[in-house]
Structure formats: structure tokens, C-alpha cells
Chain A
């Protein structure tokens, strides 16, 4: 009896809470609508194009769960911009809550742009983590795979195949600020998203230092200190290094009682003829392997670069401002070092290496991420992640 009463009370409470929540939601929507005028929409001249998005299809191959939907016309995939400041249309809110049909075609190509058949495309259509919306499919001979399911927002995917580096990514069906749902479907309907699956070509075992967790002592202050990429350390007597691949000049500002300095600069200098660097940018494919396969031996290799960092604090507001010219996470340096020339000054021998972020100097030490290919005249920068010549136990680095 007591139990029944308790159940009744709980049920009543739930009903009241739901009612209040709905009222609250309406109130919020009303408040928001005070901001602008009406809910007019404006057609954009061109539909939103995101990387990999293909043209909308005129004929739709319906997925298993969309059989009841009417065919899409080309114009149905044109995204319409919503008037800013208005509440989100109810059909989009519903799609984000309960889901709308989503269809997408992945085109998997290798780093040369060739279709990759039999690659596994796996992941899930996001549905508030509900089960039953995962997928795992193989690409066809033309590198495509077509997927359809209910979705509330985005699709997360990973593409794998033996002999290739894994690529991960996400495609948002929901596009903020646009009327991206029509007739219970996300539009554009069935975009083609290209996914680059980079090949494992020739991974080389290298000397690798992971700067994030293996810190070195700071270099000598206001002076040049040699750095050995093979040992990934300062040259003796400042470290265990023996071969000076480049030099680092370290300056810093005042320190506080904790040894913290808010300003420093690091200048890298390459002294031997033909030694030097060029700055490269990691690709945005979502691949595990984000760098180039080989150093470009024909590039001009610069001989000096300065990195600097400064944090200024406004004495009144206490706010900091950064003047930061460090290596960004998506940048890296390609190095040519240990160059040797013949009698006529022509390059006959060199090693290649790369330096990635983090690159930083602070009271707790010097962070630098280095990859050194020990093979002479081998510009290969693709690293075997299963072995590390610097420290066999220190794995987990990116290729």
C-alpha cells in the first residue's frame, strides 16, 4: 500500500516537473524572440560547402530506415541561413532531440588520390550515445561506402586498413545557423566526404624524443649550446651529446621566487654548409601520420630561426597577454644535418630529421620533440612507431 502511494506521488511529481520544464522552455523561447523580429529566413546565394561535401543527388538511394521518406529533389539540399537571434526552428530542435535521417557517402582515397577498396569504415551516428547506431562497413572497389541512419548531430568515423595509417574524423549533419533539416532528413542529403588514408610506405626506425614528457635541462643562458639529435641531448659537457647538429642560443627574462620566467627566446643556428631547416605544416586529413613522407631535398634550407615567448601581465587588471612565436602544434621543422661536401663543395652526404611541438623552455626544463633518421642520405621522415633507438621503452609517439 505504502509502495503504491509512493509510486503515485513520484508519478505526480514527474508530471509536474515535465510541465514546468515545458513552460520554462517556452518562456526561454519567448525571451529569445524578444531579441529580433519574426522568424524570417534568408536564402543564401550558395549552399554551405564544407571539405568533402559533394553535390546533392537528384535521385536518392534510400537506406533501410528511410523507406517511408519521399524522394529528395536537388533544390531540397540547398541550405538556407536562419535569421540570427531567433530561436531554433522546432523541426531542428526535434531532429536534435529525436533524430533525423542522415545519409552520407565516404570516398576513401590514398595519399595519391587513388580509391582504397576493402577499407573498414567504422564509427557511429551520434544519437545521444544510444546503442544501435554504430556501423562497420567495407569500402567498395571505387573506394566508397554509403551509410544511412537516424542521427541527432554528427557522424564520427575511423577508417582502417592493413598497410595504411588510421584516419579519424567527424562530419556534422547539424549546421549551426542553417535550416539543415527538411522532411525529417538532414540536408545536404548524402554528401560525399573524401577521407585520405595514408599508406605505410617505408617506416624507418629512428631516434625519437617525446618532448611532452621527457624534459631536458635548459641550455646555457646567453650562449650557444650544441644539440645532438642522435642522442637528443645537449652536446658535452652540458649533456650526453657528441655531435653538434645545430646550436641553440637561449635568452630569458627575470625569474620570480619559484624560478618562473615569463619571457624567453630560443635561436636555432645551423653552422655547417648545407645544414638547415624548413618549416612544414602537418596535414589536416585526420590521419595518424600527419607529416610528409620524405624531406624535400631540393628545398632551400634556412640556417637560423628564432622562437620567442612572452607573457605580459597588465598591472591593473592582472590580465595576461601572450606574444608567442613558438612552434605551433600543427607545424614542424624538417632538418638536414651532418652534411658533407666533396672537394668542389657539392653535397655528398647528409642526414634528415624533424622537430615537432612541443618546443618550450621553462623553469621545469627544456621540451623538444625530435626524430632523427640515422640512415645517411635517406630523406625518409616516416617513423616506425614500434621501435625507438633512443629509448626502446619510450614508445607511443606519432609516426
Chain B
């Protein structure tokens, strides 16, 4: 669809000081005046503007338009949209008494937007690159953007086109690279988040290969789970980038800042599954790695999100653009990352995106039939079958440890948990001291719950990262917002950097361009 849609190669303004025009036509003026007289609040509902097709025969500008320009030279904006690819110029002619007295040409190159940047496909492994065939002039800097979770190849095209246009319109002259990766595994992808995290880790080396092959300055940008790919590429594979912009990052904050990891069993720790509140935290899978802290060569000691991407902070200058949500009474962040004061229920009816972060972490190990869960370790319990009655013989699943037994073992012999954990003892490959890196990543994705909010929720490590709250710092005048959702009010939600009109988000892009030196 994008291929067919043609957009302007460059937005431009014609300041016309015309003394004479041939004909008068009022439609255009009415439209322009209507738009100009509206307040920004009013323009949020798109006004109906008359449009006119410019053909080879030309279009006469209305006399009143010329009069308006004459009266105020700062006025006179004509918005032009390309409707087909062309390299023909746009020509302004001024006629007087049937005689052409002036002709000015504006060179144009109208092309599909996707030809203006490189499209990089990592969905099948190594980069398959479609270089842009109509690349705009660039300043030698590369900006590489990755979309997030649950974005298929078609949706990725939309993300990339929008990001390119918004950055370009904000003054970026950097060469844009839109990267597609497989963050949409499965038929009903929204239930396959953990698989997509595994995919993110697997994509990282390919991203590194592509980015390290670029010449010039390299600036990374990623939205949501795309940050898992980028962070792994930097921390695990030595991807070299000058700056890294994390946008609504769906990565545990503890991966960058271990201090945000909380092993408090208190009810205020909303990332602990409610069923585990009475178990001492030594029993948790998220703390299992601590049993092996004294053996650096034991891979089980590395099964934690804590500090997993610490290498990002030493490898590049990182910027954390997050969204806090705007209500004083619901300071838990945006729609995706807000946290409940209890474990969100299994199978909460759609839309499943609410409390998504908390669900995907607290439902690890809660069973593969749980739409937000997995069958690996996590908050599942190690259980065995016991005969409930002899005749007829019935069986029931019983936990390996009662609360009392687990807590007693934790107090007296915690190392017993190394082989016989309280949590679900699956997969078998987890219970050995040598775990291949790919399995370690998979274990983190499916079996080790984060004990911190997403990095895209709040300020993290302010001494090392620039943190910008888009919800408060990137809205236009007076916190103006083009949507007043019945449930979410005027909050800057997870994908609003793309979903909201540029009018409302332009401060974000201006900031990205300035900070990134784009």
C-alpha cells in the first residue's frame, strides 16, 4: 500500500509576492483562512480543506490569495502534496494582460517515501538490504531505527515511513535505515511475547553486522522491544554506535541499573506473583542465580536480568525517553507499563495490553496455556503427582514444598534449591553449570522474571543516561494533546510517538534531532 502512496519529496513554502493574477478563485482562500484562524485545539479535528489538482495546464491562484499576500508578505502558504512520481519542476508563472511576465521553477523530485531510506530486513537472519533509490542529501550520519513487539513486516513499513518523515521534517539530514525484525512470532502474536524476546536476542548479532558495516557516525533508535535487540547488540556483540535513543524501552530497568532490581517480598513489590508472597525470596527463580555467586564459571549464576545490559552504558551515550502517564493519581506509567497492586489476572479479557509488563513477568512459569505465561521456571511451582484416593484411584498435583518446608530449607540449607528448586523445574537444560548463551537468553526470556519495571516507565541512572519524560516534556503548549481517551485521558501512551499527529509530538523529534546531531 505504501508503494502506491506517493508523498512529497520535500515540504516547502512558496512565499509569493504577486502583483497581478489572471483569475480569481475563492475556494482556496477560504480554506487557508479557515485553517489559519483555528486554534491548535480546534485543528486537532482535521478541518476540511479544499484541494486542487495541478495539471500540466496549471492552476490559477485566486486573486484574493494574492491580495492577502500583498497585504501581509508573511502569509501565503501553499501546501503541496505529490500524487505521482515525477522529476518535473513546479512552475510559478505570473501573467499580466495575457502576457507572461515572470516564471520561476521549483525543482522537484517526487518519489515514494520508501525510496528515500534504506530498508533493512533482519526477519530471516542476516540483513537483506533494499537501498533507497531516491535518497535525499545526507550529512554523513546514519540513524538506524528498530520497531518493537507485535509489529509485522507491513506494520514495520508504516513505522519506518513515519519515523523517517518526522525526523526529516524536524531537520534531520541523516541517512535513515529502517530495520525490520521478527518481533511478531506466531499466529496470535500478542500471546507470544516471550518468544519475541528470544527472537530479539537472536537478531542482535545480525543487527551488529549491519550497523558495524556502515561508515560515518551511527545513531541508534529503537521503540519498545526493539531495545532488546539493540541493547544485546551493543552489550553482547560489540555493536559500535555513537548514541542510542531508547524510546518506551520494553527492557527490564535492572538490566541497565541493578539498583532498580527489588527482591523485597513486600506487597509493594508488584513484580512478585501473589502466590509467592509467603515464600521467602530465596525460593524465587529470579534469585536462584545467587546460589551460584561463588562460582564465576557456573552459568547458572548468570541467569538474571540484573546488569544484563550494563555494557550498553559503557559502550555508548544512551538516552532514555520514557512516558510517565499524566495523572497525579495514576503515576504508574503509560498504558503498557502501568503496574497493578496485585498480580494481574490470567486471561484478563482483551485488550490484553493493559498491565502488559507486569503480566508478562509475573506469569512466567504459570503455564503455557496462560496467554501471558510460559512453562519455564518463573513463578510456577515444582509439583509432583500424589494419589488422592485409592478407589477409584485419583491423583492430584501437589507442590514439592509447602510454604513452611520451603522457608525452613531456605533458612538452613538454601543450596538444596540448586538441584531441587521450589519453582517449576523446567527446562532441564537450566539445571547444569554449563548453559549455552542462546539457552541462557531463552531462559531469561521465558523463565526468569524481571524484578523491576520497564526502562520505558521512569527515570533510570540519571548520572549516566539523559532521561526525558515525553509525557511532560514533549507535548506542545500547555500540555495540549489531540486525544482525550475515556479511560486514559491525555496520557502519552506507548506508541504515541507514531500514533499521535506530528503536531503533538514534534518536540520529541526536535529533541531527537538536536541531541543526536542529526
Contacts and interface: CB of A to CB of B under 8 A. Distances in A.
B463 A176 contact: no
B473 A210 contact: yes
A9 interface: no
B275 A35 contact: yes
Interface residues of A, number: 64
Interface of A: 17, 20-21, 24-25, 27-28, 31-32, 34-35, 84-85, 93, 96-97, 122-124, 126, 128-129, 133-135, 156, 158, 168-170, 176, 210, 212-213, 215, 256-258, 260-262, 284-286, 288, 290, 309, 311, 317-322, 360, 362-364, 385-386, 395-396, 398-399
Contact of B511 (A28, A213, A286): A213
A35 B486 contact: no
The 8 closest A-B pairs by CB, nearest first: A124-B486, A320-B259, A134-B486, A395-B477, A212-B473, A385-B478, A286-B328, A170-B329
Contacts of A395: 476-478
B346 A34 contact: no
Contact of A20 (B369, B397, B469): B369
B351 interface: yes
B317 A124 contact: no
Given A258-B317, A286-B328, A156 B488 contact: yes
Interface residues of B, number: 66
A215 B484 CA distance: 31
B369 to A, nearest CB: 5
B178 to A, nearest CB: 25
Nearest to A169: B329
Contact of B463 (A290, A317, A362): A362
A311 B341 CA distance: 28
B418 interface: no
A96 B480 CA distance: 33
B370 A24 contact: yes
Given A156-B487, A158-B490, A28 B366 contact: yes
Contact of A32 (B275, B367, B462, B472): B275
Given A34-B402, A96-B345, A97-B349, A158 B484 contact: yes
Contacts of A256: 314
B321 to A, nearest CB: 10
Contact of B328 (A31, A262, A284): A284
Interface in B327-347: 327-330, 340-342, 345-347
B310 to A, nearest CB: 8
Nearest to A252: B463
Contacts of A364: 317, 466
Given A17-B369, A20-B369, A93-B345, A212 B469 contact: yes
Given A169-B329, A320-B257, A396-B477, A129 B351 contact: yes
Interface in B461-518: 461-464, 466-469, 472-480, 484-490, 507, 511
Contacts of A385: 477-478
Given A85-B277, A156-B487, A398 B479 contact: yes
Interface string B11-27: 00000000000000000
Contact of A318 (B307, B349, B484): B307
A21 to B, nearest CB: 6
B403 interface: yes
Contacts of B397: 27
Given A35-B275, A169-B327, A318-B307, A212 B259 contact: no
A301 B478 CA distance: 30
B168 interface: no
B245 interface: no
A17 B480 CA distance: 45
B357 interface: no
B282 to A, nearest CB: 15
Given A34-B399, A364-B466, A396-B473, A124 B487 contact: yes
Given A85-B277, A169-B329, A311-B461, A21 B476 contact: no
B487 A212 contact: no
B477 A168 contact: no
B275 A31 contact: yes
Contacts of A363: 463-464
A284 B351 CA distance: 30
A386 B477 contact: yes
A170 B330 contact: yes
Contacts of A257: 314
A93 B367 CA distance: 20
B259 A321 contact: yes
Contact of A31 (B329, B381, B464, B475): B381
Contacts of B349: 97, 128
Contact of B479 (A261, A318, A396): A396
Nearest to B261: A319
Contact of A123 (B274, B310, B489): B489
A106 B433 CA distance: 60
B468 A212 contact: yes
Nearest to A261: B463
27 contacts: A21-B346, A28-B367, A35-B403, A128-B354, A133-B486, A156-B489, A158-B489, A168-B326, A168-B327, A170-B329, A212-B467, A212-B468, A213-B473, A213-B474, A215-B466, A258-B314, A260-B464, A262-B463, A311-B461, A317-B293, A322-B259, A362-B462, A362-B464, A363-B464, A364-B317, A385-B477, A396-B475
A93 B342 CA distance: 13
A287 B409 CA distance: 51
Interface in B363-417: 366-367, 369-370, 381, 397, 399, 402-403
Contacts of A398: 472, 479
Given A27-B397, A260-B463, A318-B258, A396 B476 contact: yes
A136 B482 CA distance: 17
B278 interface: yes
B350 interface: yes
Contact of A320 (B258, B341, B402, B403): B258
A360 B459 CA distance: 12
Contacts of B489: 123, 156, 158, 168
User: Which of A17, A126, A396, A399 lies at the interface centre, i.e. has the most chain B CB atoms within 10 A of its CB?
Assistant: A396
Contact of A288 (B293, B342, B467, B479): B479
B306 interface: yes
A156 B480 CA distance: 18
A262 B463 CA distance: 6
A122 B484 contact: yes
Interface string B242-270: 00000000000000011101000000000
A372 B276 CA distance: 52
A398 B472 CA distance: 8
Contacts of B477: 385-386, 395-396
A106 to B, nearest CB: 13
Contacts of A17: 369
A170 B366 CA distance: 31
Contacts of B472: 212, 398
Contacts of B326: 168
Given A32-B275, A320-B257, A321-B259, 17 more contacts: A24-B346, A25-B347, A31-B399, A84-B277, A97-B345, A97-B349, A123-B486, A123-B489, A129-B487, A170-B327, A258-B317, A288-B478, A309-B462, A318-B258, A363-B464, A385-B478, A398-B472
